[in-house]
Amino acid sequence: MASSTKNKKHTPAKEVNKSTTIYDRKTIIRLSVFLFLISFLLYANTLKHEYVLDDASVINENLLTKGGVYSIKQILSSSYREGYVNNDFGTYRPLSKVMFAIEWQLAPDKPFLGHLINVLLYALSVVLLFMMLLRFIKINVYFLFFAALVFAVHPIHTEVVANIKSRDEILSTLFLLLSLLSVYGFINRKKVLLLPLSAFCFFLALLSKESAMVYVAIVPLVIYFFTQSSLKDHLKITGTMIAAAVIYLFIHLRVMGSIGIPNIHPTDNSILMATNYFQQKATAILILGKYLLLLFFPQPLSCDYSFNTIPIVTSFANSGFLASLLLHLFLLIYAIRKIKEKHLVSFCILFYLISMAIASNLFMVIGTNLAERLLFFPSIAFSLVVAYFIGKWAKLDFKTLNPKWSTVLKSNQLVIMFLGIVVILFSVKTIARNKDWNNSVLLYETDLKTVPNSTHLLMFHADNLTLKDVVAKLSDEEKKKHFAIAQKEIDKALSIYEMMPDAHNVAGRIWYEYKNYNLAYKEYSRAMYLNPGTASYHNNVGTCLFSTGKYAEAADEFKKATLLNAKDADNFNNLGSAYGEMGQTFKRNNDPTNADKYLHLAIDNFYNATQLNPKYKGAFQFLGLTYKSIGDTVNGNKYLEIANGL
């Protein structure tokens, strides 16, 4: 049995007898199968879920993704949300989006396939984590199994798996684990080809999500703590990873033009509400404390923590800020003191701090202040620490690589029982939390109980309640209830922070439904004023003008919408409708020249709409009717027949 002396380091690889460095193959297979199955089963209840939250921006409402395999070339040369109404113009994650496009090609508008792939990739990632730990740490197999098991069941991962869009996190972690496994093979098996393979896996991780850049610092950390690699190999490996990172940055710059997300809105990252540097960084430190708290106590959970959920730290006396600062300083000092010993806890602390560096908002401001998905990769360190202290408490024999399960159980039944309780509680929480992600309405209603002042969540809820597809399925009575709730939510959101263009856009939609076109026009115009570069806002303003008979003014707004987004068939269809009404007006006023001019403009725009969306029934109908209006019955009947066939 290993001594339980306080702060005793784990046994490094060089102290383990060579005859004991090989794990029992059957045990590894059994434990790996168990990890895969429990990971899959924990998230099996997400397979019938709908698209939810950020899925819209990159999957079911993204025109590029919906273009299927034909869009792959453009996806590789554009930003992550290119093809959506609101493009962030800052993130470049083509790998996951290419997968989404292929899935859409195979099963259009069928979220089941996306959910299934997420769950399978998650289960595979858990197994790869177990394999990576076995390769590098080389201590009691059940200790490493416990670590992978804690990772598998942790509820903090529900957002990553249940939200298809968050596959970028899963892919990034999966490829980083594969890269580490290749690094191990290069060091211990001297297979030269494994080094470029490792760099390629790292490159794929970067193409999945930019935050994988922390791996450049993670690799030397792992090599130092768990290998006897020569300085030459150490430098060769780290240098190769840096080269892969440089290649990625070059491609990123060529595609995006810059690094980072420009013009981050304060409602996305409330840290930007800070009035000075101290407030900004102090709030970031406070949030780091909340991240740690979520790892230990993942209750309650929320899909959103944006403004106004976490107050800005305005004073050194803020207790949350001080507690987080002192805790992180203590962890850092402890880790540094234990570096020479190559202590496992020291490694875990440094792994966690490095992997949280980008997400922390300390070194650069990112697109969010706090998000559970950002803990996915860093939670590896947490899982290892939990397993380590449970192992020490249970007095596990860390040096014996292949103990019998019966021996492990006898070591300290109370502690093993405690681990079992933790696993059960985490599993129950994970399964229960998954249910909240079934659809957007349920998710927003549930999480607003946790973060009632989140302007984003209030807006998302109101937006979802009033979506055309949602409203179309409702009875008149249900529709009234939906819009009443939406009105209340959007009013609250705007009372917390008025300068939210999307919130004004939702408010305009509600007033439009009430047929109060003047108030709808006012709200849409405010949204357009706050963000004049959004095509949908111009389109909505044009719709209000059209509804009040101001066709020429409506046409101006629709035209701006087509210039801002030339891939949206609705913009061209609406512009065609405005021109058509103008043409009919001139026709009634006996002005055949202008009538012919605008009716032909209407035909051109309806045709453009049908080219962008070959299944656009309304556009084909208007195209046929307009042709008939100018006396071309052949084309008129042709397009009306197409419309009737859709």
- Give every CB contact of residue 447 below 8 A, 6+ residues apart in sequence: 301, 302, 303, 304, 436, 454, 457
Q: What is the CB-side half-sphere exposure of residue 322 using CA atoms within 13 A? A: 6
What CATH number does the domain located at 562-646 have?
1.25.40.10
User: What mean pLDDT, rounded, does the chain reach?
Assistant: 90
- Is the pLDDT at 14 greater than 70, yes or no? no
> What tens digit of pLDDT does each residue of 114-128 get?
999 999 999 999 999
C-alpha 459/C-alpha 498 separation (Å) is 12
Q: Is a pLDDT exceeding 70 seen at residue 143? A: yes
Mean of pLDDT values over 453-472: 88
pLDDT score recorded for residue 89 = 64
- Cα dist. 170→51, 96, 380 in Å? 17, 10, 13
**What pLDDT digit, counting tens, does each position of 592-607 carry?**
999 999 999 999 999 9
Is a pLDDT exceeding 50 seen at residue 306? yes
- Which tokens sit at 449? 């109980």
Residue 20 is predicted with a pLDDT of 36
In three-state form (DSSP H/G/I as H, E/B as E, the rest C), the secondary structure along 79-114 is CCCCCCCCCCCCCCCHHHHHHHHHHHHHCCCCHHHH
Task: Classify the C-alpha dihedral 497-502-506-508 as positive or negative.
Answer: positive
Contact 255, 77 (CB under 8 A): yes
Q: 4 falls in which pLDDT band (50, 70, 90)?
A: very low
**Burial group, residue 5, by CB count within 10 angstroms (0-12, 13-18, 19+):** exposed
pLDDT: is 172 or 85 the higher one? 172
What is the C-alpha separation between 496 and 453, in angstroms, rounded?
8
Q: Under 8 Å CB-to-CB from 631, ≥6 apart: which residues?
A: none
Place 419 in a pLDDT band, splitting at 50, 70 and 90: confident
Q: If you ran DSSP here, which 8-state letter would residue 364 be given?
A: S
Query: Are 163 and 179 within 8 A, CB to CB?
Result: no
Amino acid at 475: S
Instruction: Tell me the C-alpha distance between 196 and 239, whole Å.
Output: 11
**H helix intervals, 400-496:** 405-411, 413-436, 440-447, 455-465, 468-471, 476-496
**Using an 8 Å Cβ cutoff, are 448 and 461 in contact?**
yes
- Rounded distance between C-alpha atoms, residue 10 and residue 348, angstroms: 12
Directed axis angle between helix 94-106 and helix 167-189, to 10°? 120
SS (H, E, C) 192-215: CCHHHHHHHHHHHHHHHCHHHHHH
Contact between residue 524 and residue 544 where contact means Cβ atoms under 8 Å apart: yes
Taking the C-alpha atoms of residue 564 and residue 87, their distance in angstroms, rounded to an integer, is 12
Angle at 266 between CA 261 and CA 272, to 5 degrees: 85
Token pair in block for residue 215: 């791996």
Residue 284's nearest CA partner among 374, 345, 411 is 374
pLDDT tens string 251-278: 999 988 888 777 788 888 999 999 999 9
Lowest-confidence region among 98-102, 104-108, 261-265, 291-295 = 261-265
- Which pLDDT score, from 0 to 100, does residue 351 have? 97
Backbone Cα Rg of the chain:
28
Share of the chain above pLDDT 70, in %: 95
- The H-or-E segment that residue 351 falls in is helix 344-355
CA separation for the pair 391, 370 (Å, rounded): 31
* Residue 15 clears pLDDT 60, i.e. is over it: no
Answer yes or no: are the C-beta atoms of 149 and 390 closer than 8 Å. Answer: no
Residue 85 has pLDDT above 80, yes or no: no
Spatial contact of 497 and 488, defined as CB atoms under 8 Å apart: no
When pLDDT is cut at 50, 70 and 90, the band that residue 6 belongs to is very low
SS3 24: coil
Domain segments of the chain as ranges: 25-433, 562-646
Exposure on the CB side of residue 345, measured as CA atoms within 13 A: 18
The total number of residues written for the chain in this structure: 646
Q: What H or E segment, with its residue span, contains residue 388?
A: helix 379-393
pLDDT at residue 402 greater than cutoff 80 = no
pLDDT digits (tens, 9 = 90+) for 27-50: 899 999 999 999 999 999 999 999
Check whether 568 has a pLDDT greater than 70. Answer: yes
Check residue 308 and give left, alpha or beta (phi > 0: left; psi -120 to 50: alpha): beta
Nearest in space to 174 (alpha carbons), one of 224, 123, 227 = 123
The pLDDT confidence band at residue 3, using thresholds 50, 70 and 90, is very low
Q: How far is CA 375 from CA 55, 257, 355, 454, 473, in A?
A: 19, 28, 9, 21, 37
Give the pLDDT of residue 87. 64
Averaged pLDDT, 146-160: 96
Instruction: Look at residue 190 and give its three-state secondary structure.
Output: coil
Collect all residues with Cβ–Cβ distance below 8 Å to 400 and sequence separation of at least 6: 20, 140
Reported as type and span, the H/E element at residue 637 is helix 633-645
pLDDT digits (tens, 9 = 90+) for 319-357: 999 999 999 999 999 999 999 999 999 999 999 999 999
Amino acid identity at 175: F
| pLDDT at position 2 over 50 | no
Tokens read off for 61: 């409402």
pLDDT confidence of residue 565: 87
pLDDT one-digit tens code per residue, 533-558: 889 899 999 999 999 999 999 999 99
Burial 351-378 (b: 16+ CB within 10 A, else e): bbbbbbbbbbbeeebbebbbbbbbbbbb
